[in-house]
Amino acid sequence: MKGEPTGRARRVCVLVSRFNAIVTDRLRQGAHERLTDRGVSPGDIETVTVPGAWELPLAAKIAAESGFEAIVALGCVVRGETAHFELVWRAAAEGLARVQEETGVPVGQGLLTPENLEQGMARSGGVVGNAGASAADAALEMAELREKMRSQLAPDDPVEAGKDQDRGPKAARARGTRHAHSRARSWALQILYAWDLSGRPANLTEFARRELSFRRISARYRPHTERVLRLVEERLDQIDRILEQVADNWRIERMGAIDRNVIRIGMAELFWLDEVPPAVAIDEAVNLAERYGGKGSPRFVNGILDAARKRGSPAAPTAAGSVSTDDNGDGGSA
């Protein structure tokens, strides 16, 4: 398994240090050209300038918590005769690595540490290549690999699997269904997120059909993925109205893209899929927020969905599913 540096439907943040701008501006140009060559829409590239390399980690953390799928960090720290060089570049490099580890958002590292500006010029579009372009490729490749690993390698809990075997084939089948539905929710979120950030270029059903084909999702996960997305499309206006009503002082456009789309999926299952118990719908949405959102996402998602649940059923059953008004969480499989 490996990732490919593809930028289709990805939102990327490019962070550029202003210090040694004669080099970093060339790094930025190289990164932008490579991102667009790989299929990233120019409108999905957000460029942020920071004072120097020291400030890159904080900017990267903010970008990671704001819904970007990949980050490219560019800077140039020229070696000098004092310890300042060591202090700055080491803190910047370690900080960027920490952001990547803590948030799960790939950070392409384009931080140059040349002996002089001439070496920096050579590595920013000169004879040695462009480190900005290489950092962009690394970020895109890891973004795709992250999706593949999360969707294909998440193992079943061996302890729970053993318990299911003891309980018999019915329990094992139920666990298999829960696992498939959890994977399906992850795919639904990725597609809904891409559609939302792409400016909703087509109706969601058509967009999802193309994405499902492009991403080669297993037939085991497709039915629930399609069902959830169809429900979100049919009930989007209603879901968003409820969301704004229960989210005090939060407008939808101010919410993180991951958070609002996790909530949309959670509400679709909460109110219009009778087979999914309310407690399970909320728990699964919180799990999505933990995997893909920022530090405060799980609590935010849980609070919104719990408030929506307490409001009660918003509408009558639809063809795609039926409204559940059981607040006790009893019901079928997830």
Catalytic site positions = 84
Q: Which residue has the tokens 């298999």?
A: 176
Q: Is 216 exposed, middle or buried (0-12, 13-18, 19+ CB in 10 A)?
A: exposed
Using DSSP, state whether 160 is helix, strand or coil: helix
Alpha carbon separation from 6 to 49, 139, 199, 257, 312 (Å, rounded): 24, 10, 19, 21, 43
Q: How far apart are CA 84 and CA 139, in angstroms?
A: 28
Q: Which residue has the tokens 């990732």?
A: 3
Q: How far apart are CA 273 and CA 58, in angstroms?
A: 41
Q: What angle do CA 188, 64, 280 make, to 5 degrees?
A: 35
Task: Check residue 236 and give left, alpha or beta (phi > 0: left; psi -120 to 50: alpha).
Answer: alpha
Q: How far apart are CA 35 and CA 132, in angstroms?
A: 10
- Other C-beta atoms closer than 10 Å to the C-beta of 268 total 29
Which regions of 11-149 does DSSP assign to beta strands (E)? 12-17, 45-50, 70-76, 107-112, 124-126, 129-130
Output the six-digit token pair for 304.
């919104």
Query: CB neighbours of 168 closer than 8 A, spacing ≥ 6?
Result: none
